[in-house]
Chains A and B, each alone.
Chain A
Amino acid sequence: MKRYILLRFMQLIPILFGITFVSFLLMYAAGSDAVIQKYSLTGQSVSQAVIEAERRELGLDRPMLLQYAAWLQGVLQGDMGRSFVTGADVFGTFLDKLPATLLLTLLSVLLTLAVSLPLGVLAALRQGSRGDFFIRLLSFFGSSMPNFFVALLLMYFLAIRAGLLPVISGGSTLSAAVLPTLTLAIAMSSRYTRQIRALVLEELSQGYVAGARARGVPFRQVLARSIMRAALPTLLTLLALSVGSLLGGTAIVESIFMWDGVGKMAVDAINARDYPVIEAYVLWMGIIYVAVNLVTDIACKFLDPRLGAPGTEGSR
């Protein structure tokens, strides 16, 4: 197992090298840079001498490969550099933004599970009933609406019409988290409800369920101990993908609610061509996806021994 984990982390090296290089290349190919972008956004004309001096200060006058090599050298020495825009230490900035994203991820995953698990199971158990139809209809609407639209609807009804919640957050607090959490959870719950329903239906058609019921095992016990347990690895894999994506920040939701997380940070950095911050974000995303998938693989193995130990033939 230790060897397997080590191997997975070793695989991170070429992945991180590849994605950071490609993203650097793409940013370069997109044109403009932090200095030009700053003056362009504010509509100011400044002399070429000022622009050149500022570019030189940031090292933007060097060829792209040299810029990337300098950044890589810094990272290998534990220095992620300074933001071109704020001048602040990139790692410190990143750590400042992370708690807000972690809070939003945790709350939205919890709310998603709290909503989708009971509804998905209920819909499967009452397959074909009016309740099932209603739940499927709701999940259809929920997953059809884009996040920004849901966000605006929630703002309008809960903040403007009902006056229950603030439109703008006063920081990364629980009260400020309600609207962004609801926004994320509505789309995720809708998707998960349908998936949980399908998973439970599939398990219900298995022979072991009929066998257990024929032996007089109470259905609640079959549901909790067999059906849900069998569905858990698939559910966990789906959740891992969602958590990975949420930990990368939800740029649109964070921007709309002025939620100061890493997603908003990444969007702002892209607009300003703040290369060191963008590269830090790319690194973070790479690490998150590999780590979350690894944890999920290991967890699945413990939940369902039929899958075999990670790294063996039977593994997922």
Chain B
Amino acid sequence: MKKTLAILALLMCTLLLAAGCGGSQEQAAVEKEKVFVFGDTTFNPENGEGDLDPHKDNGGWACIRYGVGETLFHYSDKMEVEPWLATKFENIDPLTWKITLREGVQFSNGKALDGAAVKACLEHLVAVHKRAAGDLKLASIEGEGQELTIKTRQPVPTLPNYLSDPYGCIVDVSAGNAGGITVGTGPYKAVEAVPGSHVELVKNANYWGEVPKLDRIRVRTITDGDTLTMALQSGEIDAAYGLPYSSYPLFDNEGYVRSSTPTSRAFYITMNYESELVRDPAVRKAVAMGIDKEGFVKTLLQGNGYAAAGVFPDTFSFGNKSVHTEGYDPEGAKQVLEAAGWKDTDGDGIREKEGKKLTLRWLSYPSRQELPLLAESAQATLKAIGFEVQADVTADHNTKKKNPEGWDVYVSAMVTAPTGDPAYFFTYHCLDASDDNVGRYHSDRLEALARQMEGCFDLAERGRLATEMQQVILDDHAFVFCSHLRMSMIAKATVKGLTAHPCDFYEITAALDKD
């Protein structure tokens, strides 16, 4: 027995020693440099991030997040467009834009950023990236010195917004993309990129702005939430993005700092206007009054969200505060249903009208951790006012939502303003011509306002139109916005300059440092 145990102990020690030696060698090699290790859930091909090339799928997200690429304009904390690689833009006529590029900017390979380089980059972008080509509608680009003249095929009032999308990272296309490594103008340059595993970055000695403070950054893709949590606890990573909500309390102490901000990712209900039940305005209004948004955010999301009123979060000038809608009011909802003839005649707690039960078929999906929780919350609060909620939370929601006879409400999570402009949400989800108007909603007023917005170049006026358009869909109770995502990054207390941004695009910047 003793001999057996001794052999087993020896075997274990050998394995542990082998492991220990590997670790210490690695550590010794990196000790000389100031190295920052970032744990992230997103850099993998399943998210469309197969490498750092902004011209491929969602590669631009990795490119901009990890400080490799920069765009001509970027979004402020209020999601307003500000100059970045460009210093100003001028709208010569509805189809022509003149953009002045910043002087003294170089790509990480030392090549100067000028009109010709930007022209080559944008022409390559629209040739290979379908979404970008559809957004930008470029007719021609001329680049001379630091001046860039862009002509579009039709008026694109939000061109600077689209150029701030991650796909708009300006990269040196002549340098190619060997090994998935793209040459950008950011504070760090990639030296290795293995999707699903890691990105290795080093300081860009040619950076035009504030001198980057770290010698090397290692971004580790860790898709499992528990592993990410433990890696931060063990100190193997300096900061983490994408931690599960349940892990946050572990880091509520002086050893860590948390940076959070509301984003435009909204969790919302879309009413199906082809459902006889939902066509009843009283039912839609009662649903809007029967969702306990504050309770959902506070209890089920443990404070990791913001109760929503409209399409956009408070950080936008046309955000939640600019619109009004029903709050959680179960007694009011009961009265609305009573007045419309929905009564519980058989005493089973579910209301009926003309022999039909008030049964709401709730279609949603599980890939966002918040959506199943929202379904559970709604089942409880809507039941209290006389609804029976049949939740179908399925990965096959994309097929099911195409059949309007199979559901009453569709509950999803979407980024409502990825480019900071309000038109995006309405264009894709609310209009007759929308590709994803799954509820078949129609409003003459909304159509008219959308036409106005289409040709409107004035940002203040676009904001006013956005507020009015939101109010139209809220008054119709065509959509119920439940919450906005609170995006958080948690870092060791020794980390400085890691700040969550409402659009989720800027993570590693020149300001990032650690003691």
Contacts and interface: CB of A to CB of B under 8 A. Distances in A.
B15 interface: yes
A31 B400 contact: yes
A178 B18 contact: yes
Given A114-B11, A165-B19, A168-B231, A41 B224 contact: no
Contacts of B230: 152, 155-156, 159-160, 167
A40 B23 contact: no
A126 B418 CA distance: 69
Interface string B206-249: 00000000000000111110110011011011000000000000
A40 B4 contact: no
Interface in B20-43: 20-23, 26, 39
A227 to B, nearest CB: 17
Contact of B130 (A53, A164, A255): A53
Given A54-B130, A164-B20, A165-B19, 7 more contacts: A44-B415, A46-B435, A167-B231, A178-B15, A178-B18, A182-B15, A256-B227
A216 interface: no
Given A31-B398, A165-B16, A257 B436 contact: no
Interface in A64-112: 83, 85-87, 111
Interface stretch (B46-54, B156-164, B343-351, B447-455): B46-54
B45 A30 contact: no
Interface size class of B (residues with CB under 8 A): 35 or more
Nearest to B424: A45
The interface residues of chain A, by DSSP majority, are classed as helix
B300 to A, nearest CB: 19
Contacts of A168: 39, 220, 222, 227, 231, 236-237
Contact of B19 (A32, A50, A175): A175
A258 B222 contact: yes
B184 interface: no
A256 B415 contact: no
B236 A167 contact: yes
Contacts of A53: 130
Contacts of B21: 175
B284 interface: no
Contact of B227 (A37, A49, A258): A258
A205 interface: no
A87 to B, nearest CB: 7
Contact of A175 (B22, B45, B237, B424): B22
B57 A111 contact: no
Interface size class of A (residues with CB under 8 A): 35 or more
Question: Which of B23, B224, B233 neighbours the largest number of chain A CB atoms within 10 Å of its CB?
Answer: B224
B494 interface: no
25 contacts: A31-B396, A31-B400, A38-B47, A40-B367, A45-B414, A46-B428, A47-B428, A48-B436, A50-B130, A50-B134, A119-B4, A122-B4, A159-B230, A160-B230, A164-B19, A165-B16, A165-B20, A167-B227, A167-B234, A168-B220, A175-B18, A178-B15, A256-B227, A260-B196, A268-B44
Interface in A122-168: 122, 126, 131, 152, 155-156, 159-160, 163-168
Interface in A22-37: 30-32, 36-37
Contacts of A45: 414-415, 424-425, 428-429, 435-436
Contact of A41 (B18, B226, B231, B367): B367
B265 interface: yes
Given A31-B399, A53-B130, A160-B230, A38 B57 contact: yes
Contacts of B47: 38, 41-42
Contacts of B398: 31-32, 36, 40
Given A167-B236, A258-B197, A260-B196, A272 B418 contact: no
B399 A44 contact: no
B413 interface: yes
B399 to A, nearest CB: 4
B239 to A, nearest CB: 14
A68 B91 CA distance: 51
B364 interface: no
B220 A175 contact: no
B178 interface: no
Nearest to B11: A114
> Which 7 A-B pairs give the minimum distances between C-beta atoms?
A175-B22, A31-B396, A175-B19, A31-B399, A45-B428, A48-B435, A272-B46
Contacts of A160: 230, 233-234
A60 interface: no
B227 A159 contact: no
